[in-house]
Amino acid sequence: MNFVIAVNNEKILKENRKGDSSISSSLYIIQRKYKNIPKAYNDAISKCDQEYICFLHQDVFLPGGWLYKVRKQIKKIPDGWGVLGVAGVALRDNEKLFLGNIRDRGCQWGTNLGLPAEVDTLDELLLIIKNDGTLKFDEGTKNHFYGADICTQAKLQGKKCYAIDAYCHHNSIHGGELPPDFWKSFEYMKNKYKDILPIGTTCTVVQ
């Protein structure tokens, strides 16, 4: 598995790269000086030489044994899946069901019960796809909703997305009020998928 990280803070990257020792440093592809995260990810895909690609935020810490757990989870999932992640949402009667198992900003988020579980979309903090050329990120989403978008792309291709039990730490310093560019990306998604709304995400429902 290759690991792709878009970086704008070297200190945060260094603090969170001290995790699973089974992951060789040669498997990491660090993308610097990008203002558009989906573009950073797309540009990295051609550099990947492993069966799977994991795209993760610079503030995600992967504890010991993480890669082993992911491999076990993949064996439990029917072939033909589109995207895997550690935190996701399924819409049930227009209500959001949160599924995943992570430590988010120092607090437990979700549970390992029932995982892996099918979801509609996955949070961008960590996303896994197959390195088969069938999916790429929509650079028009800019830095928000690209996780929801690639999951929706997968679903339109007839592939399912899953939240898996691969516990990790999301050490984000961000939170609170959503920035203006978030709502620009919201409008982009709303227009792009106007015929299949609503789309649930961990932050909001696009409708």
The pLDDT > 90 percentage for the chain reads: 84
Does the pLDDT at position 172 exceed 80? yes
Per-residue pLDDT at 181: 85
37-45 and 146-156 helices, crossing angle to 10°: 50
H or E stretch including 136?
none
Does the pLDDT at position 17 exceed 90? no
- Going by pLDDT thresholds of 50, 70 and 90, the confidence category of residue 179 is confident
The ranges assigned to domains in the chain are: 2-206
pTM: 0.95
165 three-state secondary structure: coil
Does the pLDDT at position 112 exceed 90? yes
Query: Of 151 and 183, which is predicted with more confidence?
Result: 151
Average pLDDT over residues 107-126: 95
Give the CATH fold of the 2-206 domain: Spore Coat Polysaccharide Biosynthesis Protein SpsA; Chain A (3.90.550)
Both tokens of 5, joined, read 């990280």
